[in-house]
Amino acid sequence: MGKVLVTGGAGYIGSTLVRLLLEKGYQVRVLDRLFFGIDSLEEIKDKIEIIKGDIRDARKEVFEDIDTVMDLAAISNDPSGELDKQKTLDINYLGRCRVAHLAKLAGVKRYILASSCSIYGFQEGELTEKSKVNPLTTYAEANYLVENAVLPLGDKDFCVTALRQATVFGFSYRMRFDLVVNGMTGSYFKLGYFNLLRDGTQWRPHIHVKDTARAFITVMEADVDKVNREIFNVGSNDFNIQILELGEKISKGIGKPFEFAWYGDPDKRSYRVSFDKINRALGFETKHTIEEAAIEIWNRLEDKTLDWNDPKTRTVNWYDTLIDWNLRIKYIQRDGEIL
């Protein structure tokens, strides 16, 4: 069994992925700037190595003895990516280029990039890995740039794969209520109905956090010939779902009536993705459902192992707070005063 470096391992997907790697017998090192703290790894911290650090100045030593790098560290959604566009490009594009280059230099065998289906933007039809991309935000643009920069690094000694993940849902140890299924479940818990963005017919692809984590391991364990310099959409054709249907599934999961209120102007942004390639090439299938995720989140809100009001669960608001603190600290240092 090899050793895996997970950048962003304390994050939403990372903290589930690290546990899955441990279950499968892999050794794990995490490199994370810990923007959301370290609570997500608390109960397994003695079983892994944790390096608090920034991918933008990662050193070669971080990659020593590592067989595979799973590169998840990033500013992780569209609105957060717009808070400071230059920082988003520095981290999500240049930072991840640095990780891939250093991994190759250090003799790491495999590098797996956490990319996103958001790279397709909004388009008609069913989008495959061969479809033209349409990055509409800084976050999506950075994914496009980094894919193009790292895939060509793949050769017979260094296997590079990009995973374009669907929108993820389900409980994880750094919780995100800014993801649609999680947020809808939480808002029903709070309000007794869903708040739905008009008009509910928009299509989006979704995947459970345990399934997307398993996809990283499937790719790591696959024959190099099948995955080197390849892009895979990660999700399931059955989970291209319209927002109204999502509400119905969550209601079913939590065993409550489907009550909702509309908000906003009609959202015309819609896209559907084909997940045939990963299924055909690697036999990858998703196992976990929206209903199952919804009831787990509901039960955890009820027994208070999840807190709907935890500010760290709203990624953009949390990054905004950190930027604000950062500015205040600079101000304090300049003026020599403590606020």
Ligand X SMILES: NC(=O)c1ccc[n+]([C@@H]2O[C@H](COP(=O)([O-])OP(=O)(O)OC[C@H]3O[C@@H](n4cnc5c(N)ncnc54)[C@H](O)[C@@H]3O)[C@@H](O)[C@H]2O)c1
In the complex, the residues that contact ligand X under the rule CB under 6 A are 8, 10-14, 32-36, 54-56, 72-74, 76, 91, 95, 114, 116, 165, 167-168, 174, 176, 179, 315
Question: Least distance from C-beta 72 to ligand X, angstroms?
Answer: 4
Question: Least distance from C-beta 219 to ligand X, angstroms?
Answer: 14
Nearer to ligand X among residue 55 and residue 217 (C-beta): 55
d(CA 217, CA 126): 26
Which ranges in the chain belong to alpha helices (H)?
12-23, 78-83, 85-88, 96-105, 138-150, 180-191, 209-221, 224-227, 243-254, 276-282, 290-302, 315-335
Question: Least distance from C-beta 33 to ligand X, angstroms?
Answer: 4
CB 4 within 8 A of CB 68: yes
Q: How many helical (H) and strand (E) elements, i.e. helices and strands, does the chain have?
A: 12, 14
Question: Least distance from C-beta 158 to ligand X, angstroms?
Answer: 20
Nearer to ligand X among residue 87 and residue 256 (C-beta): 87
Question: Least distance from C-beta 255 to ligand X, angstroms?
Answer: 26
d(CA 305, CA 299): 9
CB 238 within 8 A of CB 208: no
Q: How many C-beta neighbours within 10 Å does residue 275 have?
A: 27
Q: Which tokens go with 291?
A: 């209903």
In sequence order, the 6+-apart residues with CB closer than 8 A to the CB of 119 are 133, 134, 135, 140, 143, 144, 147, 164
Question: Least distance from C-beta 126 to ligand X, angstroms?
Answer: 18
d(CA 13, CA 143): 17
Residue whose CB is nearest to ligand X in the complex, by number: 11
Nearer to ligand X among residue 78 and residue 256 (C-beta): 78
Total count of residues recorded for the chain: 339
Question: Least distance from C-beta 125 to ligand X, angstroms?
Answer: 20
Half-sphere exposure of 93 (CA within 13 A, CB side): 17
CA 142 to mean position of chain CA atoms: 14
Question: Least distance from C-beta 69 to ligand X, angstroms?
Answer: 13
Q: Which tokens go with 200?
A: 């509910």
Nearer to ligand X among residue 254 and residue 273 (C-beta): 273
φ, ψ of residue 149 to 5 degrees: the values are -85, -35
Question: Least distance from C-beta 336 to ligand X, angstroms?
Answer: 29
Q: What share of the chain is helix, strand, coil (3-state, %, to 5)?
A: 50, 20, 35
Nearer to ligand X among residue 35 and residue 194 (C-beta): 35
Nearer to ligand X among residue 41 and residue 155 (C-beta): 41
The residue type found at 84 is: D
d(CA 28, CA 72): 14
d(CA 265, CA 1): 52
